[in-house]
Every structure is written in C-alpha cells, then in structure tokens.
Amino acid sequence: MSTSSPRLSRRQLLAIGGGVASGLTLAACGTGSGGGGDDPTGGGSGSGGGGTLELWANAAIAGDSDSGLQRAVLAWGEANGVTVNVQGIPTQDLVPKLTTTSSGGSGPDVAIVDVSSVPQLAAAQVLADVTDQASSVTGDFGDELLASSSYEGSLFGLPYTTNNVGLYYNRELLDGAGIAVPTTWDELRDAAIELTGGDQYGYMMGAQGQGAFLFWPWLWQNGGTILSDDLTTATFADELGQEAFAFYAGLAVGDKVAPPEFVGSNASWDQYVAPFVQGRCAMMAIGPWGTAPIVEGNPDLDWAVAPLPGGAEQASILGGATISVGHNSGQSDLAWELVNWLTASDQMPYIQDTGNIPGRRDVIDSDWASEDPDRLVFVEQMEVSRARPALPVWGDIEWGVMANMWDAVIQGQQAPADALAAAAEETNQKLSS
C-alpha cells in the first residue's frame, strides 16, 4: 500500500521562502545593493587571500561569463584574491563526471547539483558533510528544502534554488484559435491537437531524462505514486500509473502534438525550449528556468505561465539545486566561505536575474514573490509540488531506467504499457541490489 508523495502545505510554503531545477534563477529582497552585498569577503576572518577554487554546475546554471553565478563568483574572488573557475557541464553528464573524478580522489571544490542527486552524491562521498559549518545559517532556509540537501540526517549543502513545473503558453496562438488556457487533461489534449498543423505544434515534450522528469506530475495528478511507502517497490506501473502514462505517452506517439525534433531533446533544456521560443510550439511544461531563453531569444513573443492542467488532483514536481563543498577539496574552508556567501541574502539578486527562485525563507514572503504574475504561478504552485524519492539509486532510476524506457516508447520500439511495466521490474531490481 502506498501513499501520495510529500506535498507542501501553505504554512510550509511560507516557511520555505523560495521556489528547482536546473538553470535560471530569480531572487529575494536582499539587504545589499545590486548583486554582491556589502561584504564579499563574507564578513568573517576567512581563509581568503589567494588560491584557486573549481566550481562545477550544470551548463544552464553556470551560464556564460555574464551569468548571475559567474558575476557573483567574480565579485567574491576579486574581494578575496581567489580565482574561481566555473565549469558548466551538460545536465546528463554532471553526476557521472562528479562520481568518476571523486572516485579517483579529485573533483571540484564546490558543486551545484540537482536536489534529486544529493543522496547519490552524498553516499558516494562526492559531497562533503557541512552540518557543523552550516549550523549558524540553517535558520535561513525552510525545513523541506534543507531535507532536500540532506542524506541520512546530515546536511550535504545549502539550498541554492527551488522550483516546480508550470504550463508556458503562447498567447497569440491560443487566442488566434479561440482556445482558453487549458486547466484539465482533456482540455490540454484537445488544445494541443487543434494547435498542431503544418509546421506548428501544440505541446512540447522531451526525450530521455527530460521525458521521465516531466511524467511524474501526471502520475501524481492521477493519484499514483512512484514507490511504496518503504521505498522498496516501484508503484508507478500500477493501474493509476498506466492510466497516467497512457495519456502522457499518447500525446507524443498517438496524437503527435510535439515537434518531431523532440526525440533529440536530451542534452539541455535549450533544445526543449527552442520550438516554443521560435513560435512553432504553442505550449510546454517547464519550470522558471524556461523564462530566460524566451526573453533573450524572442523578446517579442507574447507568452504567459499557468498552473499545470489538473487531473484527479493538482500536482507539480518539486525541484531545485543544492550548492556544496566537494568531498575531496583540499581547500574546504575556503570553499565553504564561497558557498556561504553565495547563499546569503545580499547575493540573491545574482539568482534573481536569471529566472529561478532562491531557496531562502525571506524570498517567498517578499513583494518580489508576488509582483510578477508568471513568477506567482510557481510560488503558489509550491503548495502542491512533490519531491522525488530521496535514494542514492534515484539517478540510476530516473536518468537510466526511466530515460531508456521513455526513449523506447517515443522511438516506436515498445508499447507504452509494456515499457512502463518493464521499467517497474527493472526499478525493483535497482532497489533490491
């Protein structure tokens, strides 16, 4: 017997102060000016005054030389006489590269990783236990987000960003077809089909791990669960799961409402967002990291964000990023100073500029959280957002078992029902090994 995945109440939401995933960022009302605060040295005695730190993050968070993260580490580095080398790594390659280098005794001094990979990286001694160092600042973050940065009772980083997935839609395309913003599964499917024709498509989908990640909200909305209560058995292929997957997969292989290039959208979210940015795709499900590519790539596009269309219940997926010290860092004190500084209130504008929601309490309770209607969608949707299982093998399940299963479906190699059932069996093997 299984129960629903963890959800956040309104009270818990207000305690969190933020919104996960993967690339862009939003921010809090910091007490400092601009981005960088009044004291880039961190305000303590510190161990600065020279040296080099290596920071690894997925390519979306790392960005280019003008990204929020790059500007932030440059400000801190200049103030402390430290060179910080930021390396952006494709999302699907980040965890494998971290585990491989760490097993060889090296790796970065600081890493920014998806919250779903924290248990795996903590168990593999890729991330350092920062419980003691963080004791004076944990009150700045909600308990749920700290739990996402923890493993077996110890803290392995601080919340950097938090997010969930909403429905981005092209106002011009929907209005032109006389279609209201969908609020139910049937309305989404009908709209996507009607908006598909010629070189225009109704709804974007992703491949591999993107496809797996974006399935979970539909599963939860149908009353399904990913795993049993004791996290030992896959439940996502039961009757409720099969029903949800039939709808989800049907959009791609039956209704064919996604642009054909979606089967190659697996290396970065830029590939996923591109058809929407180009005005060729009317709707897509993505988190707030989808905003910056739209604004930068097609500033004239008329778009907005709505909650995910609901099924038997409302649900979205809780995501985000954790920033931590590398387990093998030879400069762990200096690395912690950078982590602590990057997550301080004064530095939130660096995150704010990029489109994600910072993981601090003081963000959600600020005017900034509600002043933008699109941002407010994600803030309010946190109430129904759920976390994925906190297991060391989760990455192998989501980006291995489920990713391969989804690709087999969208490439026509396996029927959806058979593929999901087989994935559940393989997941059970992972859980029992």
Domains, the chain: 48-163+319-386 (3.40.190.10), 166-317+393-432 (3.40.190.10)
* Mean pLDDT, residues 220-249 taken together: 98
Predicted pLDDT of residue 34: 31
User: What's the whole-number mean pLDDT along residues 347-354?
Assistant: 86
Give the SS3 label for residue 30.
coil
pLDDT digits (tens, 9 = 90+) for 39-76: 565 543 344 457 999 999 998 899 889 999 999 999 99
**Which of 50-59, 74-83, 197-206, 344-353 is least confident?**
344-353
Provide the phi-psi class of 426: left if phi over 0, else alpha when psi is between -120 and 50, else beta: alpha
In Å, the largest CA–CA distance within the chain is: 63
Residue 196 structure tokens: 């598909």
pTM for the full predicted model:
0.82
- HSE-CB for 227 with a 13 A CA cutoff: 22
Spatial CA neighbour of 160 closest among 321, 1, 39, 374: 321
